[in-house]
Amino acid sequence: MIPAFPNAMPVEGFIGGLLIGLAAAIMLLGLGRIAGVSGLAARATGIADAGAPRNVATAFVLGLPVGAFVIARAIGEVQVSFPASIWPLIIGGALVGYGTRLGSGCTSGHGVCGLSRLSPRSMVATAMFMASGFATVGLLRVGGWL
Amino acid sequence: MTRALIALVSGLLFGAGLAYSGMSDPARVQAFLDLFGNWDPTLAFVMGGAIVPMAFAWLIKSRLSSPLAAPAFDLPGTTKLDRPLAIGAILFGMGWGIAGLCPGPALADLAIAPVAVLPFVAAMFAGMAAHRFIPVSPK
């Protein structure tokens, strides 16, 4: 626990991060691919024409909720808190879907896999979506929506 | 079959990591982006933790001629900085901030809070499909 930030979970965050990195390492060294969730999700649903084989993409995408379910059962409860209104979810979801296809990746592909690869494209993309996220939440805060 | 199994194991670990790290909680992710509110640095620890195994994986990869269970590496090019990359990242960041969700946690939440996350997931796939019809020119 960090006294200044009572809600932070640095230990769980780091351990969970190690699991995520291990998952991405298995994808890279086993199958030679980036564990990019947006790309694999688009491929699993058939929205993307090219990319990983459909069965590989589908298996990975199905693993996400199953893995989360196992953790939820193991530790009792995974706390989640969603926006009260449906609109942030719909607007946010549409922007995330369109933006990740246009920008060729999200937090996993650009953030985890690309940054560790020192890919210039991923470093630029990660800097931009981080800056955009900070600015957007900052504006929501200033505007009184949070 | 072997490859699908490997992908499933990867997805399982990924989803487990998201849930364990607190990243499946939209409020926590949004709090990381909320510098002027009750800031929560957890996401930075998750990113730090995830980069460690991947840094080793890239080192090992450079010594392999092919992946262990597939004929060849199939990785994106890394150099070209273009307009779609920039605009896409900015739009993604906006949506990420508004909802507190990105694709991985959203899909993991289908097991934790399916009703609550469904509007986001539906809109996300609609947005992905829309990209096929509304492209952005590279220059």
Residue A63 in any domain: the answer is yes
ipTM of the complex: 0.97
pLDDT in tens, B2-26: 999 999 999 999 999 999 999 999 9
Closest residue, chain A, to B24 (C-alpha): A80
Q: What pLDDT score was predicted for residue B65?
A: 97
Given a contact cutoff of 8 angstroms between Cβ atoms, the answer to whether B132 and A48 are in contact is no
Q: Which residue has tokens 């199939």? A: B74
Radius of gyration of chain A (CA): 17
Measured between CA atoms, the residue of chain A closest to residue B104 is A37
pTM above threshold 0.95: yes
Q: Is residue A2 part of a domain?
A: no
Residue A86 lies in a domain: yes
Per-residue pLDDT at A1: 57
Asked if residue A71 is part of any domain, the answer here is: yes
CB contact (8 A) between residue A136 and residue B77: no
Give the side-chain half-sphere CA count within 13 A for B118.
3
> Which residues of chain A are under the pLDDT cut of 70?
1
Q: Which domain holds residue A47?
A: 10-142
On whether residue A5 sits in a domain, the answer given is no
Domain count, chain A: 1
Q: Of A29, A48, A99, which is closest to B61 when you measure between CB atoms?
A: A29
Query: Is A50 within the bounds of a domain?
Result: yes
Task: List all residues 6 or more positions away from A59 whose beta carbon is below 8 Å from its beta carbon.
Answer: B4, B5, B7, B8, B11
Q: Which amino acid does the sequence have at B64?
A: L
Q: Return the pLDDT at A5.
A: 85
Q: Band of the pLDDT at B135, cuts 50, 70, 90?
A: confident
For position A96, what pLDDT does the model report? Answer: 98
